[in-house]
Amino acid sequence: MAFRAPFRSMATTARQSLKIGMLPADGIGREVLPAARAAILALGSSIPKTEFIDLAAGFEHFTRTGTALPDETVNILQEECDCAMFGAVSSPSRKVTGYSSPIVALRKKMDLYANIRPVTSVAAEPTGKPSVDLVVIRENTECLYVKQETQTVTENGKEARATRLITERASRRIGEMAFKTALSRPRKHVTIIHKSNVLSITDGLFRETVRAVPTLPGVDGRYDEVTIAEQLVDSAVYRLFREPHIYDVMVAPNLYGDILSDAAAALVGSLGLVPSINAGDSFVMGEPVHGSAPDIAGQDIANPLAAIRSAALMLRHLGYGNGADRIEKAVDQVIREGMVLTPDLGGKSKTSEVTQEVIKRI
């Protein structure tokens, strides 16, 4: 079965050209984004004439300039681009004065409130059924990622606190995205991930708001076919590894969704295979799930398939389904044949060699 995107959202307008902002950022982002670009160009007339706009962002840019996300980058995305591709960011685990993750900031500034991460295995035969076929839909603007942290010194030593923000508006929007996605898939099933047995106020609000989406004014039975389940986040991780087939669409607050989608990548072999899009109501940005992998950066061995798949997701979200199908089928063929793969998948091929193998099939 071909790798399947979760849904189609933004209708195609009569574009004469397609302007795509390209933000490679850090580490292997600079190696995998050219692969995504090459795959898009290989589509030829399947999509409008495409212009790529190179834009600056990232921790390495911060170390040179003191700015991780230049205002110019945001302005160009908002005023000139139809969509964007983001590579990877090297956010340090230690506190660096003045630095904040550019991808987190971009999601907020562009109101890309949904991070949509399909995790699908490639069946042994083109007509076969994948053993894993789920979508993690992660709220992208709130939770602990609002980065409101304080540290004080008490008689017992240092004390650190973080504010967790969950709002009804954000929970409703991500819930609507989850139900819309489920409606477009064969199983039509949504699992709400939470920890409201402990965090009864914040996770309780998320859970209640998402559950209420089918009863919102104006919905009028649109989601009657969608079944709803709930799972505590800790048991969801356990069952994800033991019974991945029980999940179809998983919807979660920001932190839980981040953890679950990375864990789900282990089910299909590598983070280097898992794509995502950051979607809002009027803009979409593709982003491979993997990080900047500084240990292999510059060696031409990074897996480009997640970035290529993210480009396909982005195009499908814009309405270019035929082009997305061609990319996804080409990636599936390369994985299924298993002859040209990067080391993370047990192969010995270079990033550039895998990219060329996909392009030949597109």
Q: Does the annotation count 195 as an active-site position?
A: yes
CA distance 246 to 244: 5
CA distance 216 to 187: 22
Could you say which of 133, 248, 258, 344 is catalytic? Answer: 258
> CA torsion angle for 186, 190, 193, 198 (degrees, to 10)?
-150
User: Buried b vs exposed e over 155-193: b needs ≥16 C-beta within 10 Å?
Assistant: eeeeeeeeebebeeebbbbbbbbbbbbbbebeebbbbbb
Q: Phi first, then psi: what are they for 294, rounded to 5°?
A: -60, -20
Could you say which of 54, 224, 234, 281 is catalytic? Answer: 234
Spatial CB neighbours of 63, under 8 Å, sequence gap ≥ 6 = none
Q: Which helix (H) or strand (E) holds 181?
A: helix 168-183
* The one-letter amino acid at 168: E
Could you say which of 99, 111, 262, 329 is catalytic? Answer: 262
CA distance 311 to 133: 19
Q: Does the annotation count 19 as an active-site position?
A: no
CA distance 283 to 264: 26
Could you say which of 195, 247, 332, 344 is catalytic? Answer: 195
Q: Does the annotation count 300 as an active-site position?
A: no
Could you say which of 82, 113, 145, 247 is catalytic? Answer: 145
Nearest to 101 by CA among 315, 287, 311, 304: 287
What are the distances in angstroms from CA 166 to CA 145, 152, 173?
11, 24, 12
CA 120 to chain centre: 13
The total of other beta-carbon atoms located within 10 Å of residue 125's CB is 9
- Is residue 342 within 8 Å of 349, Cβ to Cβ? yes
Q: Does the annotation count 111 as an active-site position?
A: no
Q: Does the annotation count 145 as an active-site position?
A: yes
- Is residue 288 within 8 Å of 306, Cβ to Cβ? yes
Q: What residues act catalytically?
A: 145, 195, 234, 258, 262
